A and B are shown apart, each in its own frame.
Chain A
Amino acid sequence: MPVDFGKEVDYVARLARLSLEPGEKERMAGQLSEILETARRIQELDTTDVEPTSHVTELPAVLREDRIKLSLPLNRALQNSPRREKGFVKVPRITASEQAEE
């Protein structure tokens, strides 16, 4: 069964917060269908009882001591921020549908 990305493209683009131009969307849907078609080949492999590899490093997590280190000076911390106001970072209004997501 071929992968049809056309139906998914809007949903995924919203999830990924990517605005796509109309032509771009169709082109992408076509390319992604093809890529996923190839990617699906791994379904042929039997992975019964195979644990997934999330990390190739088989070591436990490192813990550091709870000591305060110097933070960045305020002007350094925000030096790349496109919109600032009184030491804050400024963003446009938040819509109701986004509120629900948090």
Chain B
Amino acid sequence: MDATVAFFFDLVPVLADLPGWLSYTIIGAVLTVGAFLFIAVFALVGIWLERKISGHMQDRLGPMEVGGWHGWAQTIADTVKLLVKEDIIPEKSDKILFRFAPFLMFTASMAAFAALPWSAKFIPANLNVGLLYILSVSSLVVIGILMGGWASNNKWSLYGAMRSAAQMISYEIPVALSLIVALLLSGSLDMQEIVHSQAGGIFNWNVFGYFPLLSIAFIIYFIASLAEVNRTPFDLPEAESELVAGFMTEYSGMRWAFFMLAEYANMFVVSAIATTVFLGGWQPIAPFLDFIPGPFWFLGKALFLILIQMWLRWTLPRLRVDQLMYTTWKVLTPFSFALILLVSFIKVL
């Protein structure tokens, strides 16, 4: 946290004069509110973009009315509607868990924002095990989903939650293994260190390391991360055509919105991890583009990956449960093990 505190002291010198506990609390609160606002705005834009892209891919236009220009205010109107909606809790549900689940899921996905490196100077918490921290907190999401599905006391919800648990536990393995391949090159779990190790233009990024070995690792990570965040073609926990809405079936209004918010926050987190580990984080494409600030590159690369996620969502149909398990256990996991062996062998040589 020291780098962040120094960053804030540089920004607002008055903070340095306050007692330590007060300045730390203020900085923490500002960062939290900032992260929340970022997630909210990102979800608004992301959902709008998703609807527009899906519309155009199906030769439609998507939302066009609200706000005038191409329905830009559609998601804002939807949010206002969700805020004023009645909060329905099923009578036979486990009320405490039912209420708690969306917040647990949202907290877990928001906690990951603490260790994302936005630029050379700005990273909310510069942990020396940053990547490990993100991987562990984001695996808490599955508990939120399982909790919501179980507490709803509804068979659709339970099916969705069970599928989600099976899916996420299986796909954590290729996610972690493919990241290890990149870590062999970078040699650190510290997010800033990983980014620094990829300095000097696009061909020094990890995705082109030992070409094409790391590219394969990147693709494995990308596929597995799709499953991690329940995106099509791995959206079995939601599966609106078979399970109504999966674990979210009984949720309405703001609680449902929090699930949605967490989903989009997770999309951003997995894209941000891919950006940091494989695509050079906040490093520019070529060294002479240094004058463009780091957050631009970081956000740009992450949004590019999110666009690919959306593109895939509107291209591929949902997998069957057995196909899902086949993909992870028989394809992704063996391949990432092979990559680890190959890369470490080459590195030792």
Asked if A and B bind, the verdict is no
